[in-house]
Structure 1
Amino acid sequence: MIKLDVLIIGAGPIGIACALECKKHNWNYRVIEKGALTNSLFNYPLNMTFFSTSEKLEIDNIPFISNNPKPTRNEALEYYRRVTTSNQLNINLYEQIISVEKEDNHFKVTSDKTEYSAKKVIISTGFYDIPNLLNVPGENLTKVMHYYKEAHPFTLQNIAVIGASNSSVDAALEIYRKGGNVTMIIRGEQVGERVKYWVRPDIINRIEEGSIKAYFNSEIKEILTDKVIINTPDGVETIANDYVIALTGYRPNFKFLEKAGVQFSEDEKFIPKYNSETMESNIDGLYLAGVICGGTETHKWFIENSRIHAKMIAKHIEKAL
């Protein structure tokens, strides 16, 4: 049993920010991450460019210098890696937390490698690990993907991109420019309004000129080995298809939070209960940080507006330790 003052679950940007606060207070802490450092960012598309400017992605006023105002995935990975290594933060990678249980005045935290006893626990696990499923026949085929990395494998292939968010638009444009035959299937009547302002005109123009086919107000009905069937306003359409890239969003691991005892709002937003001034959940000593605080509203919290959570949590913990 390893005894800690603070155990942080998740080594994304906000988890790293929490670790920096713990170090400044000389608390005995550790960050546990099931994957690579900043695992969600690592799994972003290789050529992704952030919507935010680099200074808005900074944590603890540590400068983030990028080649352009909008940093790339690789620049962000390097920035958070340098913050971690230069500050010698205590982080365990590739270790999965199994359970968090409150026992009297401490938490018993069990991982797939060992057990911890912590006075305080911070959960900052993001939302990128569980995709929103289409729930249609054929979704279990190997040709269906819920993550997109790069365009090259889809050259000369018939690709259906599901969704109209930043990730969907980026994938559609990249694959089109690498020689793929792209069809977008969009549930709404237009390309998402949150799409990056310098990209949105590009995808609209490609659709209007016919380079990329788009079905609006439409949904996938069924996925077959060599085609997809679509429900459209004009009836059912069947198109040739080699791969389906379903970028329909992601959601936090609600079951993990429920198992830890966290309560949620009684509506479809499923927002976890926490004190907005301290970020403490309904369980004394258990804090939430980052995008996980938004429930299904995954666009509510992101790096630039949730990095303050680390200092809010530290300020409250300071009174107890």
Structure 2
Amino acid sequence: MEEYDVLIVGAGPIGLACGIEAVKAGLSYVIVDKGALVNSLYNYPVFMTFFSTSQKLEIGGVPFVSINPKPNRNEAVEYYRRVAEKFDLNLHLFEEVKTVEKTASDDFEVLTSKRSYKVKKVVISTGFYDVPVLMHIPGEELPKVAHYYKDPHLYAFQNVVVVGANNSAIDAALETYRKGAKVTLVIRGTELGPHLKYWVRPDIENRIKEGSITALFGSELTGIEEHTVTVKTPDGDLRLENDFVIAMTGYKPNFEMLQKLGVASAEVSNLPFYNPETMETNQPGLYLAGVVCGGMDTHKWFIENSRVHAEQIFEHISSKK
């Protein structure tokens, strides 16, 4: 059994920021992630551009230099890899946390898919990107359905249905359209998402207006078959020829893990309980950092406004030590 002062669950940007603060505080630590380094960013669309500027994505005081006003996914992945390298962070990747249990001495015993740990504190920084929000409709399990979109080339010259009205859906619709796909947007509401990137909105509005991309507002995908889909619209059901479905229906934090850890949360929004000054939960010694703090409101926390969580957590841990 390996022993550390702190175990950090999640090797995303905020998890790495926590590791950096542990180094500064002189604490022994390990960062554990079930996937790759910055796994969520790795799974972002290959050509995605961030909403934030590079300065707002910086951690550890390391400059993030980009040739563009706003950096892209590839630049971000490389930046965070170099940050991890600079601080020689103790990373255990492709290692999934199975259980976290409190001991009689108020320490934690953590069992993963590869080994076990005994630690004094645990920081949960798992983000929200690993658990897609499912549509729960017939055919959603078919291989042609994707809840993660990466590269538009796969969809060239195909009949593609994109579900959603926010950035991920609109990016997928525009990129696949420009690779020759026949794109139909299925949008439950009556308009495009309010958080749409300002430089993308006129592009999609014009493509819809000219008929290059079909948008079905007030509509809902109700069934997926091998070569067709069924869409419920205000004018009745439509049956469309279809090769691929890109379901950009959103993502959510791993609430099951938080429940198993005994973290209290609001029933409606799944908003977890934590002290906003220290980020400590109702379980002493267990902290939250990053997007996971927002419950179902995944638009509340981002890299740029949750970087400070790492400082708050380790200031509190150091003061108690």
TM-score normalised by L of structure 1:
0.99
Q: In structure 1, what is the equivalent of residue 301 of structure 2? A: 301
Q: Which amino acid aligns with 2:166?
A: S
Report the 3-state secondary structure (helix = DSSP H, G, I; strand = E; otherwise coil) of the residue aligned with 1:178. Answer: coil
Extract unaligned runs of 5+ from structure 1: none
Report the 3-state secondary structure (helix = DSSP H, G, I; strand = E; otherwise coil) of the residue aligned with 2:274. Answer: coil
Q: In structure 1, what is the equivalent of residue 84 of structure 2? A: 84
The offset of 1:266, in angstroms, is 2.2
The offset of 1:105, in angstroms, is 1.8
Report the 3-state secondary structure (helix = DSSP H, G, I; strand = E; otherwise coil) of the residue aligned with 1:319. Answer: helix
Matched, 1:277 2:309: no
* 1:233-244 mapped onto 2 (5 Å cutoff): 233-244=234-245
In 1, the alpha carbon distance for the partners of 2:53 and 2:28 equals 33
Q: In structure 1, what is the equivalent of residue 22 of structure 2? A: 22
Question: Percentage identity across aligned positions?
Answer: 57
Q: Which amino acid aligns with 2:205?
A: I
In 2, the alpha carbon distance for the partners of 1:271 and 1:89 equals 30
Matched, 1:116 2:110: no
* 1:180-191 mapped onto 2 (5 Å cutoff): 180-191=181-192
Q: In structure 1, what is the equivalent of residue 132 of structure 2? A: 131
| CA-based RMSD | 0.7
Extract unaligned runs of 5+ from structure 2: none
Report the 3-state secondary structure (helix = DSSP H, G, I; strand = E; otherwise coil) of the residue aligned with 1:81. Answer: helix
Matched, 1:256 2:254: no
Once the two structures are overlaid, the 10-residue window that deviates more, 180-189 or 97-106, is 97-106
Q: In structure 2, what is the equivalent of residue 56 of structure 1? A: 56
The offset of 1:263, in angstroms, is 1.2
In 1, the alpha carbon distance for the partners of 2:96 and 2:222 equals 36
Measured against aligned partners, the alpha-carbon deviations of 1:146-202 in whole angstroms (never above 9, x if no partner) come to 010111111111000000110100000000000000000001111112111001110
Q: Which amino acid aligns with 1:179?
A: G
Q: Which amino acid aligns with 1:118?
A: V
The offset of 1:319, in angstroms, is 1.4
In 1, the alpha carbon distance for the partners of 2:106 and 2:59 equals 31
Q: Which amino acid aligns with 1:200?
A: R
The offset of 1:25, in angstroms, is 1.0
The offset of 1:212, in angstroms, is 0.2
Q: Which amino acid aligns with 1:191?
A: L
Report the 3-state secondary structure (helix = DSSP H, G, I; strand = E; otherwise coil) of the residue aligned with 2:110. Answer: strand
* 1:139-218 mapped onto 2 (5 Å cutoff): 139-218=140-219
Report the 3-state secondary structure (helix = DSSP H, G, I; strand = E; otherwise coil) of the residue aligned with 2:320. Answer: coil
Q: Which amino acid aligns with 2:89?
A: L
In 2, the alpha carbon distance for the partners of 1:307 and 1:273 equals 19
In 2, the alpha carbon distance for the partners of 1:165 and 1:129 equals 18
Q: Which amino acid aligns with 2:200?
A: V
In 1, the alpha carbon distance for the partners of 2:135 and 2:192 equals 19
